[in-house]
Amino acid sequence: MRVVLDPGHAYPSANRGGNGYDESLGMWKLCNYLKDILVEQGYDVALTKSTKEENPSLTARGAFAKNSDLFISEHSNAANGSARGAEVYRSVQLPNDQQLAADMSKAISSLMGNTNRGAKTRQSTKSATSDYYSVMASARRQNCPHVLLIESGFHDNVEDEAFLLVDDNLKKIAEAQANVIMKYIPNYVGNTTKPTPITTQNNEQIIWDFLKSKNFSDFAISGIMGNIFAESGLKPNNLQNNFEKTLGMTDDQYTQAVDNGSYANFATDSCGYGIVQWTYSSRKLTLLNYAKSQNKSIGDLNMQLNFMYNELLTYKGLVDMLNKSQSVLEASNLFLLNYEKPADQSPKVQQLRASYGESYYNKYHVVNTTDSNQIVFDAIDTIVQVNVLNSGDYWKNVIKEGKLQYLDQLFLNFSNYVKTHN
C-alpha cells in the first residue's frame, strides 16, 4: 500500500501558538514519525516535501497522490483560542471514508484529551461535488481512493498547544493515526505473511554484510557506506533527483522502463543512478549489460554491489589501501577521491561523508556481539527477579532482532520501578 503524507505549510509559518509552536514544524515532525511507523509495517510512504522549508503549491502536494492508496494532509487548527479538539475531513466524493474519518478523529481526540469534533466534509463553493480544500481536490483528481485532511488539535488553544509542543506527544499522535490506517487500509490483504519491507534499514544491513563478505575492514566498510548514503540514501533504484523532474519519471518508473526496454537511453542520458549514482555512459552501459547478464533488474541491490566491487578491483591498489585505513575518515576520503570523484570534493564534503560513515561504524562495529548481549540478558534477568517484568523473553528477542530502539521502553519500566520502590 502506498501512502502519501503532506506536512501542511512551510517553515517558518505564520500559523503559530502563543508559546512557540509552529504548525509547519509540528506537522513536519508528525509526518516523519508517521512515515517511520508505516514503513516499519511495510507500507510504501512518501512525503510531499523533502525539507520542512519546502513549500509546494497545494495542487503540487495533491498531485503526489498519483498511484497511491491513501493521501493525508496533516494540520493543526486555529480559531478563537478557546476551541479545542480534533477533526478529520474526508473528501465529499468519498462517503465510504466517513467511518475512517470518524475513527481517526476519535483516536486523536481521546489521546489528546480534547473534544472529538468528528468526521467532516467541506464542499467547494463552485461545485458541490468538489472539495473546498484544494489539496484534497488535487489528490482526488489523481483518483486517490482515500483522501483525508486531519486537524490534530488547535494550536491557538493553550492546552492543545502545550500538547503539540512535546515531540513525544507528536509521536503518540502518529501512532494513534497509524493504528487507524492499519485497520481501514491494511497493508496485507488476505496475506498473513508479512513481506520484508523495502527500507533503507534493510539495505544498510545488506550492504554492510556484502562488504563484510568481501573481507573489507570495518573502517573501509563504514567509509564506503557513508559515501553511498551521500550519493543515494542507500537506495539502489535512486535516479538523480533533478532528473526525476526532467524525465518526468519516479525512481520506480525509470527502473521499470529500463528493465522492460521501453526506455532506451539509460547509458547515454547522463542521469546519475544507483547506489553510487553511476553517471558516465561507458560505466552505465557496462552496468546495464552486467544486470542483463545476471538476469537482474537494473535496480537490484546485490547486482549493483557486485558491480561496484568489480569496479573497485580495477582501481589499482585501492581495495588494499581502503583496508589499511586507520579511520573512517581515511577510508571515506580514499573512496571519495579515487572512486566517487564528485564535483564537490571540499573538506566540508569529506567531513560530512565521513560523519555518515561514523554512524554506520558506531552501529555495526561490535567487538563481540554475544558477550555484549549476555551482559544485557543478565541485567534483564535481574529486572525480572525484582518483578518489574513478568518475563524477560520478549526483551531478549528485541535485542536479538536488533530492535534496540524498543529498549527505551524497558529502561522506562525499570526507572519507574526504581522510583516507586525507593
Of 48, 73, 86, give the one whose Cα is nearest residue 173. 86
- Contact stretch for Zn ion (CB under 5 A) within 67-75, 119-127, 235-243, 329-337: 67-75
- Contact stretch for Zn ion (CB under 5 A) within 60-68, 72-80, 336-344, 386-394: 72-80
Q: Are 291 and 299 in contact (CB under 8 A)?
A: no
Residue type, 189: V
In angstroms, give the least distance from the CB of 98 to Zn ion: 22
Among 8, 223, 236, 299, binds Zn ion (CB under 5 A): 8
In angstroms, give the least distance from the CB of 25 to Zn ion: 12
Q: How many helices (H) and strands (E) does the chain have?
A: 18, 6
In the bound state with Zn ion, the residue whose beta carbon lies nearer, of 8 and 17, is 8
In the bound state with Zn ion, the residue whose beta carbon lies nearer, of 13 and 413, is 13
Strand partners, 75: 151
Confirm or reject binding of residue 117 to Zn ion (CB under 5 A): no
**Nearest-CB residue for Zn ion:** 75
In angstroms, give the least distance from the CB of 69 to Zn ion: 23
- Contact stretch for Zn ion (CB under 5 A) within 4-12, 97-105, 289-297, 410-418: 4-12
Confirm or reject binding of residue 153 to Zn ion (CB under 5 A): no
In the bound state with Zn ion, the residue whose beta carbon lies nearer, of 75 and 235, is 75
In angstroms, give the least distance from the CB of 77 to Zn ion: 7
Of 344, 278, 343, give the one whose Cα is nearest residue 311. 278
Q: How far apart are CA 225 and CA 230, in angstroms?
A: 8
The backbone torsions φ and ψ at residue 43, rounded to the nearest 5 degrees and listed phi first, read -75, 155
Only one residue has cell 497493508, namely 187
In the bound state with Zn ion, the residue whose beta carbon lies nearer, of 140 and 155, is 155
Q: Are 323 and 220 in contact (CB under 8 A)?
A: yes
Number of residues that bind Zn ion (CB under 5 A): 2
In the bound state with Zn ion, the residue whose beta carbon lies nearer, of 16 and 75, is 75
In angstroms, give the least distance from the CB of 15 to Zn ion: 6
Helix axes of 393-400 and 369-385: crossing angle, nearest 10 degrees: 160
- Residue 143 DSSP SS3: coil
In angstroms, give the least distance from the CB of 48 to Zn ion: 13
In the bound state with Zn ion, the residue whose beta carbon lies nearer, of 32 and 238, is 32
In angstroms, give the least distance from the CB of 109 to Zn ion: 17
Confirm or reject binding of residue 75 to Zn ion (CB under 5 A): yes
Confirm or reject binding of residue 223 to Zn ion (CB under 5 A): no
In angstroms, give the least distance from the CB of 31 to Zn ion: 13
Give CA 146 to chain center in angstroms: 21
Instruction: Provide the CB-side half-sphere exposure for 218 (13 A, CA).
Output: 10
Q: How far apart are CA 188 and CA 292, in angstroms?
A: 31
Strands 44-47 and 2-7: parallel
Q: Where does this chain bind Zn ion (CB under 5 A)?
A: 8, 75
